[in-house]
Copies of this chain bind each other. A is one copy, B any other.
């Protein structure tokens, strides 16, 4: 231990106890929260921040900062206390005093965007680990492009027993081990306690052996021994594998009568126990008071970071590739993208190809990937089916991170969370594919994409019974509705190659909303044969076929069913019935249009909706008495054509439904 380290170490007890005291006090004042984790982890956090971490609270978005992820999100007061002590200007004591209260940044679980220094939203267990894998991967990929001078940071994760029980943790650690993400260091808060009591109640997992099996470097230490913590971190840094440090801790450390029990996990300690803890810890200051010497120690970390950041800025300024670097972490060049897509659309309308929209997605991606330099593709082991790998894409491997295509494996959930991490890290615009029905496997991470507002694109192919023989387990009927139900998720189901190109323009240009593209397996004709410069998908829905004269009925369809609606309109037209056809690729974007536009598009009732899925979610498009041709139950294992006949999703059925709703009358 050198002189400086000794000074730090002498003060580290106080630094850690400041975290404990602030956590106890804030949770008690809120009468709600989880003191166990912040108190148990205070020593680990103190050593990590004091001796290792690289960040600058005065420049919270500095690209080369270390990323710190509290996967055990219920321990949020650990993060808030640390960020307060470090001196983040939006985390003053008033925030801690108002933990979990309206109008404050100190939410029950750390919410990305609420305060500086919160790298990702955590709380749903396991997500933090899997998101951190994406961050660590993005770091290596960015490093492969811009070198150690500009990209040279680490991703630190604190995870609890719950995180390691969740299935997503398996997907994450397998992927991290496979890609040998040596910059990822995970502290396991090995306190032996879950909500239901001792972890013995529900697990016998040898976690160290498990991580070793996944190719990780593994250590086990006393999580309250600061020199052991420091030594383990140094060893982890020296190893080229991702590292797991099992930290044996006492949950609620410092609370003399409750520590080591589930009683400290999710409830305030109570005034009496807090007083006893102050006594036991030798923390003599009143609630929400921290002595200046402790602040000084924490602020020294910030000062160290500031120096590093300033040196980095000097390096960036002198770097010949500084413009490319800045571009990589900036919003996409939507003007260039718009021009490229418009040109491509003109060609498409002329060619009028008949292709599956999954294939159309690949064609559009050729344009997108050629225009935006930092897209990163991938698939959960369905590359050939999802059509996610465009020409010239190169796999990212543990030996070479300069590629732009990620083999996520059969890990939909891990892929989604990793994409969140890549997007949050910056430098890349991630998209990844699976079958639409398996969006269910990834749903908790998709929800975090939406909640955080990170622009991830989900390429969800095989989007209906139209996938055919694989049968009901693979046929989404309720999945589109379940995605449309989610706030802040743009769900697009394009009808042809033109709409698919427009959908990709929206997805790739998005900065605050994730996108789910629902794409067909089966071939579809081009229905947008008349070229328009304007992105019609951006309006959500639009009149594709205008019958001329006042409408008798409006047929509204999405995706593969637009063709069916058009055929139905022709049939009706032959009988002198004027049927408009509305293509409605995106309900969310349509809902955001002005009321007048919506009225104009939808026309007066009667209407018929057509989608090879359940009706739920069509409330915006259809009145109660309008008809809907779709699914009411699960699918079946049959050839596509037979399936559409079997379930009655045909032009004849649509035409018949149109006649029936017209006869019904009474559509005020």
Contacts and interface: CB of A to CB of B under 8 A. Distances in A.
Contact of A441 (B166, B206, B381, B642): B166
Nearest to A482: B482
Interface in A624-642: 624, 632-634, 636-639, 642
Given A107-B637, A203-B178, A166 B165 contact: no
Contacts of A168: 167
B407 A167 contact: no
Contact of A451 (B107, B484, B616, B634): B634
Contacts of A395: 201
A102 B636 contact: yes
A36 interface: no
A34 to B, nearest CB: 10
Contacts of A206: 212-215
Interface residues of A, number: 106
A204 B446 CA distance: 26
B204 A101 contact: no
A124 B205 CA distance: 25
Contacts of A633: 487-488
Interface stretch (A320-328, A356-364, A468-476): A468-476
A642 B171 CA distance: 39
Contacts of A175: 202
A575 interface: no
A217 interface: no
A108 B642 CA distance: 15
A73 interface: yes
Interface stretch (A245-253, A294-302, A410-418, A534-542): A410-418
A407 B440 contact: no
Given A410-B194, A616-B616, A617-B485, A109 B471 contact: yes
A410 to B, nearest CB: 4
Interface string A599-622: 000000000000000111111001
Nearest to A382: B195
A438 interface: yes
A432 interface: no
A379 B178 contact: no
Contact of A634 (B477, B487, B616): B487
A618 B30 CA distance: 36
Given A195-B384, A485-B482, A624-B619, A469 B169 contact: no
A407 B484 contact: no
B414 A167 contact: yes
Determine how many copies of this chain the complex contains: 2
Given A178-B202, A440-B447, A481 B478 contact: no
Contacts of A122: 473
A471 B121 CA distance: 11
Contact of A178 (B125, B204, B447): B204
A656 to B, nearest CB: 21
Given A409-B203, A478-B486, A616-B617, A470 B108 contact: yes
A84 to B, nearest CB: 17
Given A167-B168, A616-B617, A123 B471 contact: yes
A668 interface: yes
A111 interface: yes
A408 B202 contact: yes
B204 A473 contact: no
A452 to B, nearest CB: 10
Contact of A108 (B408, B444, B469, B617): B469
Nearest to A637: B107
Nearest to A615: B619
A347 interface: no
A11 to B, nearest CB: 33
Interface in A156-180: 161-162, 165-171, 174-175, 177-178
21 contacts: A33-B469, A107-B471, A109-B471, A124-B438, A124-B473, A125-B410, A161-B410, A165-B411, A167-B167, A167-B168, A167-B171, A167-B414, A195-B381, A196-B407, A202-B407, A213-B213, A438-B444, A478-B487, A482-B482, A487-B614, A619-B619
Given A202-B408, A481-B485, 18 more contacts: A100-B637, A109-B471, A162-B381, A165-B409, A167-B413, A175-B202, A177-B204, A178-B204, A195-B382, A196-B381, A202-B411, A207-B213, A210-B210, A441-B444, A448-B473, A485-B614, A616-B616, A623-B624
The 10 closest A-B pairs by CB, nearest first: A167-B167, A202-B409, A170-B170, A107-B637, A123-B473, A209-B213, A482-B482, A481-B485, A162-B410, A478-B485
Interface of A: 30, 32-33, 73, 100-102, 107-109, 111, 121-125, 161-162, 165-171, 174-175, 177-178, 194-196, 201-207, 209-210, 212-215, 379, 381-385, 395, 407-411, 413-414, 437-438, 440-441, 443-444, 447-448, 450-451, 468-474, 477-478, 481-482, 484-488, 614-619, 622-624, 632-634, 636-639, 642-643, 646, 666, 668
